[in-house]
Amino acid sequence: MKIGFQEFVAAILLAFLCCPNAVFGIRFVIDREECFSHNVKYEGDTIHVSFVVIKSDSTWHSSHEGVDLVVKGPTGDQIQDYRDKISDKFEFVAHQKGVHRFCFSNKSPYYETVDFDVHESHFTYYDQHAKDEHFNPLLEQISKLEEALYNIQFEQHWLEAQTERQAIVNEAMSKRAVHKAIYESAALIGASVLQVYLLRHLFERKLGMSRV
């Protein structure tokens, strides 16, 4: 059986539209602890994870900004442990299928907004039972192209979150710079007024003494 170019393109588009392995992304506000679950359907799949602390509700920069993340497998075994991270991107191989838990902890006294993303890599053509020597390579290429597409989406999502965080940080720094300039100007004006007052008071006192 020979596969034509049109059938090849149609199969690729169908795989992209119908594939259930979509990128899972969520944005949430954390006070103390938030946990999320992801059901890994196949043993040996690669799990891609990224998170970015977009912003903190504190007015000024806090040295405690950042979150902890603990990843646990279906049996409760600890897979990953990250501490005081503002952003990170990592991957691990799921040695067991089942529900994996991702628990975030916030030790700062302020609410923090976190962008969290999970993507499971699975080559679907491994599960196919087609015996045709022309059909198997097609499925393999579709699966690889599909995975490349989702990896691009995953990376793009993480970069967008990083860019948004940097924009918020830059805006906060600009506001702090403006406030600092206003305070310094007010202090300079106050010091100038005080100097004028003291000079006038000194001259008036000397003038009074000279008249006597």
What does the pLDDT average to over 145-169?
79
What does the pLDDT average to over 27-43?
92
Sheet holding 112-121, edge to edge: 24-30, 112-121, 46-56, 87-93
What does the pLDDT average to over 175-191?
77
What does the pLDDT average to over 19-24?
48
Per-domain residue ranges for the chain?
Answer: 13-171
Q: Pick from 105, 102, 46: which is nearest to 74 by CA?
A: 102
Residue predicted with more confidence, 178 or 13? 178
Q: What is the pLDDT of residue 153?
A: 77
Region of poorest pLDDT, from 99-103, 104-108, 195-199: 195-199
Q: What is the pLDDT of residue 130?
A: 47
Position 136 confidence tier, pLDDT thresholds 50, 70, 90: low
Bridge partners for 36 per DSSP? 102
Q: What is the pLDDT of residue 123?
A: 64
Residue 4 scores a pLDDT above 60 = no
Residue 129 scores a pLDDT above 60 = no
Q: What is the pLDDT of residue 29?
A: 92
The rounded distance, in Å, linking the Cα atoms of 29 and 83 is 18
Compute the mean pLDDT over every residue in the chain, rounded to the nearest whole number.
Answer: 77
Position 67 confidence tier, pLDDT thresholds 50, 70, 90: very high
* Each residue's pLDDT tens digit, 47-62: 999 999 998 887 555 5
Q: What is the pLDDT of residue 19?
A: 47
Query: Is the Cβ–Cβ distance between 46 and 106 less than 8 Å?
Result: no
Q: What is the pLDDT of residue 39?
A: 94
The rounded distance, in Å, linking the Cα atoms of 121 and 144 is 10
Position 210 confidence tier, pLDDT thresholds 50, 70, 90: low
What does the pLDDT average to over 3-15?
49
Region of poorest pLDDT, from 19-23, 122-126, 155-159: 19-23
CATH topology of domain 13-171: Jelly Rolls (2.60.120)
The rounded distance, in Å, linking the Cα atoms of 73 and 12 is 33
